[in-house]
Amino acid sequence: MDVKLINPFINATINVLETMAFVTVTAGTPYAKKDNTAVGDVTGVLGLTGVAHGTIAVTFEENCILTVVSNMFGEKMETLNEDIADAVGELTNMISGQARKELDEVGKVFKAAIPSVITGKNHTIRHYSDGPKIAIPFKTDGGEFTIEVCFDREKRA
């Protein structure tokens, strides 16, 4: 998979979490993910079409997303609920939007679907592409989360 498709999602993830939730985010080493089991407890999934078809998934450990949403809302969140799920969908949408803007600037145009949110321990993430799944782990003071980016090969003109 082309790194030029992955880096904008890393940049957008750091920017969105730091500006919207006031958390310091550190990216880990990307790796090829072999299974469909989420590494977190709540996941936003969004399909993308354009120069390639694919999916972005943002999956948060429970403690991490509770910290993130508490910071966003300015009130302590203690349990996974509908508000948390809505926030994960919106964060996924914002990350996708910023990454797509960066990709658009280099001529790689994508359109996004509406995000879906999945919650629960050991849930699965179904990517809309059979391409390689690249996972990028992130750390915050409140816990960990991972983004997964999965694209088919780029279309050729």
Give domain status of residue 101, yes or no.
yes
Q: Which residues of 132-148 are buried (b: 16+ CB within 10 A; e: fewer)?
A: ebbbbebebebbbbbbb
Give domain status of residue 42, yes or no.
yes
The tally of domains found in the chain comes to 1
| Residue 127 phi, psi dihedral angles, 5° rounding | -85, 150
Q: What digits encode the pLDDT tens for the residues 10-37? A: 999 999 999 999 999 999 999 999 999 9
Q: What digits encode the pLDDT tens for the residues 38-58? A: 999 999 999 999 888 889 999
Give domain status of residue 87, yes or no.
yes
Give domain status of residue 20, yes or no.
yes
Give domain status of residue 157, yes or no.
no
Query: Which residue range is the domain that position 133 belongs to?
Result: 3-151
CATH number of the domain encompassing residue 41: 3.40.1550.10
